[in-house]
Amino acid sequence: MGFPTRFSAHLCLYTSEVNIMTAISFAGVYQKYITKSGETTALQEITLDIQAGEMIGLVGPSGCGKSTLLSLIAGLLVPTSGSVRVFGEKVAGPSPDRGYMFQQDYLLPWRTILDNILIGAEIAGRVTPQIRERALHLLEEMGLDGSAAKHPHQLSGGMRQRVALVRTLLTEPQIVLLDEPFSALDYQIKLQLEELVTTTLKARGITGVLVTHDLGEAVAMCDRIVVLSNHPGRIKRILDVPHNVRQRSPLAARETAEYHSLFRTIWGDLQDEY
Ligand code: ADP
């Protein structure tokens, strides 16, 4: 069984056998935080497989463990029990094959756009003419040609997030973790960015994990949505986004009856959590 994609982008989802490749696998994950005031169980019994090329949305009330899930995939946390695997390998720490996009772009104001993009390669001592060329090409692809020599303050919020996307893509990640990446943007720009990120990740076969408070954004951008419940964070329900929504761009998806129906279902699920 294939995994239908948005915009019919071609994805190599099959191994030489017939199975769809699992990009991220949580098996019986518990995460506890120990603080001076006691112990918090942030995640309980999380078991979830995310397929290669899939875009997964994580939604739920504040404190249900969304950021903790991203940190586990990123290798910033080790689960208290259970396992987190990326392409079959137990996550042992951060790696360039997993990129992050945040609400803030974290561009350094004193560096040019190109130098901001190259910062990871610079730290790794790997700024080659080829990397520089790739950065310039990516900037052009994201509609930012002419911005390389500018400084962050000369760019709009939407342009800066596109720079952040270029910086993320430069390391050629197989997985991109998206932590509320559009929540600080004007609505119009946010819709444009949703579109750009979805098409870009799908065209490259990159697996995406999107944390968002915006249920509409989750439905419009994702293939499946994981609804989490609170105290402790658990998977309440996993919903497939209908094919008619998935095959459209995030903007066009919002015009379908299925989009509205799924939105109402998730809304209902979350009403019980507040
Ligand atoms: P979300 O991203 O859904 O808002 P988080 O993953 O940030 O949820 O937090 C899940 C739970 O874990 C919350 O109860 C939060 O207070 C707690 N928590 C998160 N990070 C820490 C930490 N570093 N130390 C102690 N408790 C934490």
pLDDT digits (tens, 9 = 90+) for 109-153: 999 999 999 998 998 888 999 999 999 999 999 999 999 999 999
Q: Give distance in angstroms: CA of 85 to centre of ligand 1.
A: 21
Q: What is the mean pLDDT of residues 186-201?
A: 94
**In terms of domains, do 203 and 80 share one?**
yes
The whole-model pTM stands at: 0.92
Q: Give distance in angstroms: CA of 232 to centre of ligand 1.
A: 10
**In terms of domains, do 187 and 216 share one?**
yes
Is the minimum distance from the CB of 33 to ligand 1 under 6 angstroms? yes
Per-residue DSSP letters for 203-249?
Answer: HHT-EEEEE-S-HHHHHHH-SEEEEEETTTBEEEEEEEPPHHHHTS-
Instruction: Give the residue, 1 or 167, on which the prediction is more confident.
Output: 167
Asked whether the predicted pLDDT for residue 6 surpasses 60, the reply is no
**In terms of domains, do 145 and 182 share one?**
no
Is the minimum distance from the CB of 82 to ligand 1 under 6 angstroms? no
Among 155, 172, 189, the domain boundary falls at: 172
**In terms of domains, do 222 and 129 share one?**
no
Structural domains of the chain, count: 2
**In terms of domains, do 11 and 144 share one?**
no
DSSP state letter for 7: G
**In terms of domains, do 180 and 161 share one?**
no
Type of residue numbered 164: A
Among 148, 172, 196, the domain boundary falls at: 172
Q: What is the mean pLDDT of residues 150-161?
A: 96
CA 245 to chain centre: 19
Q: Can you give the pLDDT at residue 272?
A: 80
**In terms of domains, do 162 and 178 share one?**
no
Asked whether the predicted pLDDT for residue 11 surpasses 70, the reply is no
DSSP state letter for 273: T
Q: Give distance in angstroms: CA of 65 to centre of ligand 1.
A: 6
Nearest CA to ligand 1 atom 25: 33
Q: Can you give the pLDDT at residue 19?
A: 52
Q: Give distance in angstroms: CA of 68 to centre of ligand 1.
A: 7
Instruction: Say what the alpha-carbon torsion angle 219, 225, 226, 230 is, to the nearest 10 degrees.
Output: 10
**In terms of domains, do 70 and 206 share one?**
yes
Q: What is the mean pLDDT of residues 167-178?
A: 96
Please check whether residue 104 lies inside any domain of the structure: no
Q: What is the mean pLDDT of residues 236-245?
A: 97
Q: What is the mean pLDDT of residues 76-99?
A: 95
Asked whether the predicted pLDDT for residue 9 surpasses 80, the reply is no
Please check whether residue 241 lies inside any domain of the structure: yes
**In terms of domains, do 144 and 179 share one?**
no
CA 133 to chain centre: 25
Are the C-beta atoms of residues 238 and 69 closer than 8 Å to each other? no
- Domain residue limits at 156: 109-172
All residues at 6 or more sequence positions from 54 whose CB lies less than 8 Å from its CB, including other chains? 3, 23, 207, 208, 223, 224
Is the minimum distance from the CB of 68 to ligand 1 under 6 angstroms? yes
**In terms of domains, do 59 and 149 share one?**
no
Please check whether residue 26 lies inside any domain of the structure: yes
> Rounded to whole angstroms, how far apart are CA atoms 169 and 167?
6
Q: Give distance in angstroms: CA of 220 to centre of ligand 1.
A: 27
Q: Which single residue is written with the structure tokens 């915009």? A: 7
Question: Which of 29, 68, 102, 211 to mutate to test ligand 1, by most ligand atoms within 8 A of the CB atom?
Answer: 68
CA distances, 167 to each of 6, 25, 116, 118, 158 (Å): 24, 26, 8, 7, 14
Please check whether residue 1 lies inside any domain of the structure: no
Q: Can you give the pLDDT at residue 112?
A: 97
Is the minimum distance from the CB of 43 to ligand 1 under 6 angstroms? no
> Rounded to whole angstroms, how far apart are CA atoms 129 and 30?
45
**In terms of domains, do 13 and 93 share one?**
yes
**In terms of domains, do 53 and 127 share one?**
no
Is the minimum distance from the CB of 229 to ligand 1 under 6 angstroms? no
> Rounded to whole angstroms, how far apart are CA atoms 31 and 15?
32
Please check whether residue 80 lies inside any domain of the structure: yes
Looking at residue 191, which CATH number applies to its domain? Answer: 3.40.50.300
Among 131, 150, 172, the domain boundary falls at: 172
pLDDT band, very low/low/confident/very high, at 10 (cuts 50, 70, 90): very low
Asked whether the predicted pLDDT for residue 266 surpasses 90, the reply is yes
> Rounded to whole angstroms, how far apart are CA atoms 251 and 133?
32
Q: Give distance in angstroms: CA of 90 to centre of ligand 1.
A: 23
> Rounded to whole angstroms, how far apart are CA atoms 238 and 243?
15
Asked whether the predicted pLDDT for residue 180 surpasses 80, the reply is yes
Q: What is the average pLDDT value for the chain, to the nearest integer?
A: 91
Please check whether residue 103 lies inside any domain of the structure: no
All residues at 6 or more sequence positions from 162 whose CB lies less than 8 Å from its CB, including other chains? 142, 143, 144, 193, 196
Please check whether residue 102 lies inside any domain of the structure: no
Please check whether residue 84 lies inside any domain of the structure: yes
Quote the crossing angle between the two packed helices 157-170 and 129-141, to the nearest 10°: 140
